[in-house]
Amino acid sequence: MLDLKFVRENPELIREALRKRRAQFDLDELLELDEKRRALLVQADDLRALRNRVSDEIARMKKEKKDISGVVKEMKEVSEKIKGLEGELSVVEERIRELMLSLPNVPHESVPEGEDEEDNVVVRTWGEPREFSFEPRDHVEIGEKLGILDFERAAKIAGARFVLFRGAGALLERALINFMLDLHTREHGYEEYLPPFMANRDSFIGTGQLPKFEEDLFRVADTDFYLVPTAEVPVTNIVRGEILREEDLPLKMTAYTPCFRKEAGSYGRDVRGMIRQHQFDKVELVKITTPETSWEELESLTRDAEEVLKRLGLPYRVVTLCTGDLGFSAAKTYDIEVWLPSQGRYREISSCSNFTDFQARRAMIRYRPEGTKKVRYCHTLNGSGLAVGRTVVAILENYQQEDGSVIIPEALRPYMGGVERIAG
RNA sequence: GGAGAGAUGGCCGAGUCUGGCUGAAGGCAACCGCCUGCUAAGCGGUUGAACGGGUAAAACCGUUCCGAGGGUUCGAAUCCCUCUCUCUCCGCCA
């Protein structure tokens, strides 16, 4: 959520931001309602001030045994008037809130303008895609041949867009989770959490998934719970409604969770294999920082995520999302894309964003700068570090051998009980 | 699932029966002074948030906030209703 006062005072800046994002939003309605709200507020406040004054007066008169019936009658009318104004006010405020919750964040000035992912800008590239002496297979073929991925039975159990890991496949998934968590906690200074995998509505509003993106979420029937689509939701909301101490910032948190997504509107996209699943594992990185440090923290967070790929020896590149591709809550996002030989291109495996104070304002995450009384909103950031399922895909495809076996990257072997190769 | 207790400021904790100068006693913590070889102790002071008005910016003024939402009343932390959460005991259970 943006600051309404800021919107009021900088309407052209907001209009420009919306244009760059290619976003639809009725800014004029918001500005009109805001004006109406303030007019109503002044009226109501004045009447309440009157009532408060006279109420004190009544208390005094009562003590002095004076007749109060006249004033009481008058105040009864004032109270009725206040009630009427409050009714009008709550209608206006509810609509303002609706609008504010669906107004996207302002892109950072360094974000390139563009329509869609075609206009994203490559920042850097690491590693060389391997030259194959044979036609590289995709992860579905590799995994099924090795008996470690089973899509057919997963479909029987649950349906499309699920996978069943088996044997070395299950071990590989688990090893990656542990490897990533260890790297981030032991070397990158993050604290590990293991949060609930379901969260309530307020949490989802806090990080911006609700109310706008309900159709992407699984809701648990007859409850107020939604399955988390990313650990960003439960982890960022750990400090929802809190005023933090500056000396405790930045908070650096990491968590493994499964992620549940409906993938509504992606019918026909990535239908094969485990690129796009209703359930996948992810290790997430979350930072809560001061406004002064958030941009450098975005850089280091991205590097922390990249480090996973470096250690695994997987070629990747980093792109800056253009304004048209930028997520609703983000001010700037780097996607990390890993090389997939079967597709001959880079595919997203991590998304690292600075949300500035957008989520913090929704979730009321604030801090008190040292030596001052005024509280300020924190900046929140997060990034995948990494999407585990897609990492499995990348390992299977990049490390496949002509005989169908797969070499395990060295860094991962301690987590695999020393296994160096998965063979059929 | 059954029975009971509770939810007040950064924290602890009064106030609720008996509605009104209580943004909220007292304590702790933090900050600023003083004192002091240093530290501790001691003394004095300061310290909530949101919104609106106001200002160059402050100061300042008003309103709202005692888990959430309704109601009663001239007036609600205090009375009534609904909900949420926490704790204790019983039952069931991984």
Three-class secondary structure assignment of A341-408? CCCCEEEEEEEEEECCCHHHHHHCCEEECCCCCCCEECEEEEEEEEEHHHHHHHHHHHCECCCCCEEC
Separation between Cα atoms, residue A82 and residue A79, nearest integer Å: 5
User: Which nucleotides of chain B are near protein (any atom < 7 Å from a CB)?
Assistant: 10, 20-21, 31-32, 47-53, 62-64, 70, 73-75
Give the CATH architecture of domain A117-422. Answer: 2-Layer Sandwich (3.30)
C-alpha distances out from residue A271 to A150, A165, A210, A422, Å? 15, 18, 26, 25
> How many other C-beta atoms lie within 10 A of the C-beta of residue A298?
26
Residue A75 beta carbon within 7 A of nucleic strand B: yes
The answer to whether residues A323 and A22 touch, using CB atoms and an 8 Å cutoff, is: yes
- Average of per-residue pLDDT values in chain A: 92
H-run or E-run covering A82: helix A69-101
Confidence at residue A114, expressed as pLDDT on a 0 to 100 scale:
95
Residue A45 beta carbon within 7 A of nucleic strand B: yes
Residue A46 beta carbon within 7 A of nucleic strand B: yes
**Amino acid sitting at position A219:** R
Handedness of CA A363, A214, A18, A123 (dihedral sign): positive
Confidence of residue A372 (pLDDT cuts 50, 70, 90): low
Residues contacting residue A16 through CB under 8 Å, at least 6 positions apart: none
Q: What is the pLDDT of residues A250-263, one digit of tens each?
A: 899 999 999 999 98
Cite the residue boundaries of each domain of chain A with CATH code 1.10.287.40.
Answer: 4-101
What is the distance in angstroms measured between the alpha-carbon CA of A381 and the sugar C1' of B42?
46
Residues contacting residue A32 through CB under 8 Å, at least 6 positions apart: none
Q: What is the pLDDT of residues A120-167, one digit of tens each?
A: 999 999 999 999 999 999 999 999 999 999 999 999 999 999 999 999
Cite the residue boundaries of each domain of chain A with CATH code 3.30.930.10.
Answer: 117-422
Confidence at residue A66, expressed as pLDDT on a 0 to 100 scale:
80
In the Cβ-directed half-sphere of A119, how many Cα atoms lie within 13 Å?
A: 13
Q: Which nucleotide is nearest to A375 (CA to C1')?
A: B49
Q: What is this model's ipTM?
A: 0.82
A4-101 under CATH 3.50.50.60, yes or no: no
Q: What is the pLDDT of residues A43-102, one digit of tens each?
A: 999 999 899 889 888 888 887 878 888 888 888 889 989 888 988 888 888 888 889 988
A390 is an active site residue: yes
Separation between Cα atoms, residue A6 and residue A98, nearest integer Å: 17
The yes-or-no verdict on residue A233 having pLDDT over 80 is yes
